[in-house]
Structure 1
Amino acid sequence: MRLPIHLLLLVSGWIWGCAANSQEDAVREFFAENETVAPPTTSTHTNNWAVLVCASRYWFNYRHMANALGMYRTVKHLGIPDSNIILMLGDDAACNSRNKFPGSVYAEKGCKLDLYGDNVEVDYRGYEVTVENFIRVLTGRVDPSVPRSKRLLTDDRSNIFIYMTGHGGNEFLKFQDTEEISAFDIADAFAQMHEKRRYNEIFFMIDTCQANTMYSKFYSPNILATGSSLLDENSYSHENDPDLGIAVIDSYTHYVLKYLEGINKTSPLTMQDFFDHYDVEKIRSHPGVRSDLFNRPVDGALITDFFGGVAQVEVMQNVADMVVDSTPVDDLPNHQTSPPLAEAATINSIASRNMSSEQQADSSSWESTYRKCRSWLGIALVGSLVGWVGTR
């Protein structure tokens, strides 16, 4: 009776191994079929940031706060985390005593979607929203006491989306009804950012009266800009809410947000598609676009290059042999006895890229074969042990 038991154990082990392999193949096939492939992009950025500014205060400017909060919700939905968003609100309409819905801000008639909610992180609020603070955020010239959450920690691989809304005019935007920022101020701030390598590309959007004049003085490279209205043209609100008694959102921002609601992180739509959706009759003003400073074709720049936060990760094989400096360790200063982490990572990356595709394919094939052999060897060993125990 012992031989059939041994045979049964071996057959059971073989069946279990086949089932395990078939399950693994099924899982791999499932992920291969449902893999989300990001659309190709010509951008070289590695991170996304957003600076959202509502420059107005007072209750009757409720719509400007809703504009900024609506844009905040959209960029978060498309993948930019709170840590990479600087939100500046000139007033707190949610806590205003005239707000019929305390703690809430709505951008549509009927008050269906609360833009304020529980997950809004306001970085600059009320009287903190000044021209000086805005310029300091962009240029990085902040006081050492300013926390990291209030800083724009960008580099030369950062794509930055800058949105501004409020009351403005020919080449100026008012802050708090007490001061104003000019088109020259923003242009000079962008120039400083370029000199300090604080951005890869900038997408500037502004919703105010005569908005297109605000980007007329830009002269730094890699900047794409758009505005809601022409010179001597007003921007209008979209609709009023009877319960709140005021306008809840501006027309231009409303239709921009409505369009972006249909975008996801892997959308292949480009900035040209975004600009083409402008409808002058609905917006009731003439939005403008400036792309002469942008170093890429607008139809080659994805919407998610600025509104999204899609991480692009390149997986590389481990390299056993590292390129080591021939200088003896004893001859190095004390602080150089171990290479910095960044240098080691760079060497590893270079060595990985130097591997040919055939070598990487062979390595992957051998690794797969090794895993299979190890699995079957484990099954055989377990079967033998169980059989040996059964014979005793």
Structure 2
Amino acid sequence: MENYRHQADVCHAYQIVHQNGIPDEQIVVMMYDDIANNNKNPHPGKIINKPNGLDVYPGVPKDYTGEDVTPQNFLAALKGDRRAMKKRNPKVITSGGNDTIFIYLTDHGGSGIFCFPNDILHASDLIETIKEMARNNKFAKMVIYMESCHSGSMFTKLPNNVHVYAVTAARADEASYACYFDSERETFLSDEFSAHWMYYTETNDLDNKTFGDQFGYLQEMMMSSHSCRFGDMTMGGHPISEFVNNTPQRVRSETRALGFAPTHLTSNHDVPFKILEHRIKTETDAGRKQHLKRKYEALHKTKAKIDGDVEAISKHFKCDDLDEDYSKMDLHAFKTVAEHFRATCFDWHKEECFTQFHIALPHMHAFARLCACGVESERIIEVITKVSRKSSRKLQQGYKHP
């Protein structure tokens, strides 16, 4: 249930475009779909995206769920490439040169990477797909909204001449924030950036509000992270309704009447710790409380190990003068480094390996900076391997009894 908020965001986004009259055959939804009927959900079959909010789960299409929610399937569906799919009868976007495309992505992220449930989407692959679609006349205009930590790093190489406009939840060097902690569900219900853009969309006349207007609102109202935009800035002058139709007057009035004030703003880096702290505090069974405490301690040990490994890697390079300009980063070199770090420093045979990688995500900027500075990927990989082996030997020695 830790990632409840991401699926709630997706469901809410679907309800917005659906109520605005976009037909389901023109919508593709990817969601792992293990929250609504999770045995830890105190309200089976229901998902909410704000306190005492409406159920946003009914009617959400199950186009891609479970193991089908992959970066490979996402890129193939975006391009309309059914042949690249392993899924039977896959739903894809069949767009052409006169079409507009709106994409909303929400999950964990790090420098140059966006997470899927069991894999990662690299900035290099996303940008290459957008360029390929532009060459093949697959759209007239495209808008991308991305909710994740360090999401600003995903679009530094987005061309400004292909009619694509991207808005992110955070700068390249900062976390995004979760909001609305629900004590009963023991999780966060939404994310700050997503809550704001959806509220704006549901309370305004979108025929007379542009993407530029909405971005100004995000910059003014977001309290924790800083929304950024990339690509073709002329797109900011287009009405939002060109992409998602207009919000019905009834919905606008009802949403405004409910009010809006995101609470419990928490860095997404800290969310797993905050959730465990709450569960430990409220657990009444002594045995279960001890189990949760051990889990909490293990999480901190994992974080400390990752912190130490990345610090040891960084010491092999002169970091003081490294460039923070992510636009100078070789995306393909960074992908090679990131994949090697993921494969080398984590035991992928263990069930919790991807949770460990999520904890490591804030450190990916260290490798991004090295690539931006021009350090050869081969050299970075060599150091990662060396440090990983040394760390593993220390860990094994720590398990030995005198």
Using the size of structure 1 for normalisation, the TM-score is: 0.59
2:112 matches 1:174: no
1:168–1:211 contact (8 Å) kept in structure 2: yes
Distance of 2:65 and 2:90 partners within structure 1: 13
1:325-340 to 2 correspondence within 5 Å? none
Name the structure, 1 or 2, with higher relative contact order (CA <8 Å, separation 6+): 1
Fraction of identical pairs, as percent: 27
1:280–1:286 contact (8 Å) kept in structure 2: no
Secondary structure of the equivalent of 1:233?
coil
1:200 corresponds in structure 2 to 140
1:99–1:244 contact (8 Å) kept in structure 2: yes
Distance of 1:283 and 1:196 partners within structure 2: 40
1:189 corresponds in structure 2 to 129
Distance of 2:175 and 2:220 partners within structure 1: 13
Identify, as 1 or 2, the structure richer in helix: 2
2:163–2:235 contact (8 Å) kept in structure 1: no
Secondary structure of the equivalent of 1:248?
strand
2:156 corresponds in structure 1 to 216
Determine which of 153, 156, 160 is the counterpart of 2:101: 160
1:83–1:149 contact (8 Å) kept in structure 2: no
1:106–1:114 contact (8 Å) kept in structure 2: yes
Distance of 1:297 and 1:60 partners within structure 2: 35
1:139–1:189 contact (8 Å) kept in structure 2: yes
The letter of the residue matching 1:171 is G
1:278 corresponds in structure 2 to 218
Distance of 2:226 and 2:183 partners within structure 1: 28
Distance of 1:68 and 1:76 partners within structure 2: 12
Q: Segments of 4+ in structure 1 off by > 2 A?
A: 143-149, 279-283, 296-299
Structure 1 residue 202: deviation in Å?
Answer: 0.5
2:76 matches 1:136: yes
1:330 corresponds in structure 2 to none
Structure 1 residue 108: deviation in Å?
Answer: 1.0
2:65 matches 1:125: yes
Secondary structure of the equivalent of 1:87?
coil
1:53 corresponds in structure 2 to none
Secondary structure of the equivalent of 1:205?
strand
Question: Cα 1:147–1:202, aligned 2, differ >3 Å: closer, same or farther?
Answer: farther
1:231 corresponds in structure 2 to 172
Structure 1 residue 261: deviation in Å?
Answer: 1.0
Compare CA radii of gyration and give the structure with the larger one.
1
Q: CA RMSD in A?
A: 2.1
Distance of 1:227 and 1:180 partners within structure 2: 17
Question: Cα 1:243–1:188, aligned 2, differ >3 Å: closer, same or farther?
Answer: same
The letter of the residue matching 1:236 is Y
Distance of 2:132 and 2:246 partners within structure 1: 25
Unaligned runs of 5+ in 2: 248-402
Determine which of 19, 23, 41 is the counterpart of 1:81: 23
Question: Cα 1:297–1:65, aligned 2, differ >3 Å: closer, same or farther?
Answer: closer
Determine which of 81, 92, 112 is the counterpart of 2:34: 92
Secondary structure of the equivalent of 1:93?
coil
Determine which of 209, 212, 227 is the counterpart of 1:269: 209
The letter of the residue matching 1:64 is H
Distance of 1:271 and 1:259 partners within structure 2: 11
2:245 matches 1:308: yes
Determine which of 254, 257, 266 is the counterpart of 2:195: 254
1:298 corresponds in structure 2 to 236
Structure 1 residue 278: deviation in Å?
Answer: 1.1
* Equivalent residues, number: 245
The letter of the residue matching 1:290 is F
Structure 1 residue 148: deviation in Å?
Answer: 6.7
2:205–2:246 contact (8 Å) kept in structure 1: no
Question: Cα 1:157–1:97, aligned 2, differ >3 Å: closer, same or farther?
Answer: same
Secondary structure of the equivalent of 1:224?
strand
Secondary structure of the equivalent of 1:261?
helix
